[in-house]
Amino acid sequence: MAHHSPSFPSARQAQIIRANQRDLFHVLSLREQVDNVLRSSLGTRWLLKWDKEVDLVLKLLYYGLTIGRGSEQRPLYRLAC
């Protein structure tokens, strides 16, 4: 059985801008929540020391899941199974 890549229509400039803004909003929201958890459990000094690494891991996780979800065309909860 051959695997076919999904074919999506070309996005307009406004759609691309909205998608980028939505991604930025979600990444910043996730970052704020993770910062609060890490700060309360590991402390502010630890968070300041590992700030760039935490940011990288969060972005890789977010974009990895969203890209994976888009190419798989399955609900996000099914990716964890």
Number of domains in the chain: 1
3 three-class SS: coil
The share of the chain scoring above pLDDT 70, in percent, equals 74
| pTM strictly above 0.85 | no
Decide if 2 is inside a domain. Answer: no
Q: For residue 76, with 0-12 CB atoms within 10 Å meaning exposed, 13-18 middle and 19 or more buried, which class applies?
A: exposed
5 in any annotated domain: no
- CA triplet 43, 31, 44: central angle to 5 degrees? 15
Range of the domain at 47: 13-79
Please check whether residue 3 lies inside any domain of the structure: no
Q: Are residues 39 and 74 in contact, defined by beta-carbon separation less than 8 angstroms? A: no
Q: Is the pLDDT of residue 23 over 80?
A: yes
68 or 51, greater pLDDT: 51
- pLDDT tens string 60-81: 999 888 887 665 445 444 544 4
